[in-house]
Structures are given as structure tokens and as C-alpha cells.
Amino acid sequence: MKITALKTWLVPPRWLFLKIETDEGVYGWGEPVVEGRAATVEAAVKELADYLIGQDPRRIEHLWNVMYRGGFYRGGPILMSAIAGIDQALWDLKGRDLDVPVHQLLGGACRDKMQVYAWTGGDRPTEVAIGAKALVDKGFSAFKMNGTAEMAIVDSNRKIDEAVARVAQAREAVGPNVGIGIDFHGRVHRPMAKSLLRELEQFKPMFVEEPVLPEHLSSLKHIAQNLSYPLATGERLHTRFEFRDLLADGMIDIIQPDLSHCGGISEGFKIANMASAYDVALAPHCPLGPLTLAASLQLDAVCHNAFIQEQSMGIHYNEGNDVLDYLVDKTALSIEDGYIKIPSGPGLGVEINEEYVEERSKVGHRWRNPVWTNEDGSVAEW
């Protein structure tokens, strides 16, 4: 069996889909994308295709190393996201060829279903309490919210008070037993994080995500000592080597690799197993499309330290299309009582409606994240 083509489609709301085809008619789908840089990742996929055309797609580990090590420059969000989507498609292809789900190829499932959480509120959260209560009424036992809007490196106490008030409203609305993930989104710098992290302790968060920017994770030992709730990060880390250093530092309780950014299922599996050696939980990042979610669930199935899965159905970014729109069988990723059953179909366990993908690719997208400014006109973290 030989790879004959790598085909890509930019589709709404902000995704990039990939299909790998072979001379034997077996194929696989993946989702290589960086939010806001989809076209750049698409170009990287086309460059990596030079290493793949004519190769045996079943040699996944070998091809991964060719893509990663074959170029003198490696790592980073663009290259690792391109590799990630290709890797997902290769696993999907191999599973289809053998007529088994990917989790069977990774050792078999250790769970039947995966707890998931949903988002409430937008980038600048306001009425989060109403949205949180609505999610709980739908059967979710956990949700995530943005903790704060833009915040200067040293800002007013008012910004902290506003963030605390929003979390207080959410906690009051859902009661004490619903998990609340609070995403700082890297918007809070070290001087403000010290106070805010401790102010939130009274609400017993499920976790606080990206408490500081990835480039400042070393500061956690100074600002987060003795907190009684878990800290989570990892969506903007791209290799096992970055996660190795994070885990060795001992300040993170939950890692959140994104299987469309961290080198795919192959690298994600290594990262997850490495985290288990530090007794660190796994909660893959996934504000993306159906292929990233399906790949994440295949990984969750085989990782005992996986405890919850992000998914983006109904998220505020999904304008024009949502996660299930591109599936032939929408029940493959259906949520029941806050859980998704581990997909049991071959490969990633989902079938993409290629005709619909072609149709929506004519619309495409040029999604960009907002660029925010502080009150003085300086650029703020989004």
C-alpha cells in the first residue's frame, strides 16, 4: 500500500480537514490546524507531503519521525500541527484498513465512555451564570468559562473583583458539586495572578487553566504554592520535550495537550503516558472540529489518567457550522448525560461527509482571533 495524495479543505467555522488517499482505496482523515493560522498549516502539510507520497502509510512511527526529524528546523505550532493532522489521518487509515478503532491498536480501551465539558460565556464573559445553569440542566456535570477579559500586567483591583464575582455567580447558579474550569487564557500576568489565584480558592474550581502564559510557566512555583485546587495547562505546548520540562517542575496537576497541535495521536500518547508517571491527569484541549474530538476520544480511551474531555459543540466561535455538521452519522459523537461513548467504528470512529466538506470549502474561512488592547492602547493578551 502506498500514499498517493494528501488533500486539504478549509471549512467553516475555522477548521482545516485533511484526507490521505492510497493506491488501494484505503483512506484516512485528520485535522491539521492552528486557530487563526489554518492556511499556514495547510502550506506546511503540502510541504510535508513530499516526504509521504509513495510511502507505506502503515509505518506511522517511521513516517512521524521522518516528518519531525527530516527537517533541520522542528517543533513549534505550525510544523507540529501539520504533523498532528497527518498523524491522525494515518491512524484513521490504519484502523480502517484493519477494521478496528484506533484505541484497539493502542492497547484497547480502559473505559467505555468519556466525561466531557462544555463552554459557557464568550471571550468577555458576562452572563455566565445563566449559561452554566442551562448546561447543567442538559446533563453536564462540568463546564468551563473564561475567568477574565483583558488584563494589564499590573491592573486594578476592580479587574480581580469582577473576575471573582463572575465565578461566584456561576458557583451559586450550579451548586457545590458541578465542576467549574476557569480559563485564564494566558491573559493574567504574574503580578495579578498571585492575588487572583487565591481569591478563587473559595469557589473550589475543578481547575484553573493557563494561569500564566506558556513562556512564564516557571513562575508558578512563586505564585501558586499551596493552592488547594488543580492547575492545568498545555494547549500551547507542542512536543513531549516541552511537557517533560513542565512535568519535572512539579507545579501542574492537569495537562491539556491538543491533538491537532502536539504532533497528533502518536505524540499525545507519549505525553499522556509520561504524565501518568508523575501522577498528573490528562484533559485534552479541543475547541476544534469533529476529527480532533474523535482523535482525542481514542486517546482518552486508552489513558487511565484521562479524566475529562473538552469539546466545542455550541461554542461561540462556531459560526456557520458546528462539530456534528460534517459527520455522516452524527450519533458517533453524541453527548448523553455529560458523556460521549468511545467511538467504536474503524479508525477514528467517525465518517466525514466528503460531499458536504467540498460544498463548505467553497465558503472556506479566514478566521482570526481578536486583537485586544489595554486602556492605554498597548496590546493585550487574548
Cα 158 to Cα 315: distance, rounded to the nearest angstrom: 28
Given 3-state DSSP classes, what are the helix, strand and coil percentages for the chain, each rounded to the nearest 5?
40, 15, 40
Cell numbers found for residue 210: 493557563
- Name the phi and psi angles at 51, rounded to 5: -85, -15
For the annotated catalytic residues, the residue numbers are 185, 285
Alpha carbon separation from 141 to 135, 137, 312 (Å, rounded) = 8, 9, 16
Q: Which three cell numbers stand for residue 249?
A: 517542575
| Short-list 352, 262, 322, 331, CA closest to 15 | 322
Evaluate whether 41 touches 33 at the Cβ level (below 8 Å). yes
CB 193 within 8 A of CB 200: no
DSSP 160: H
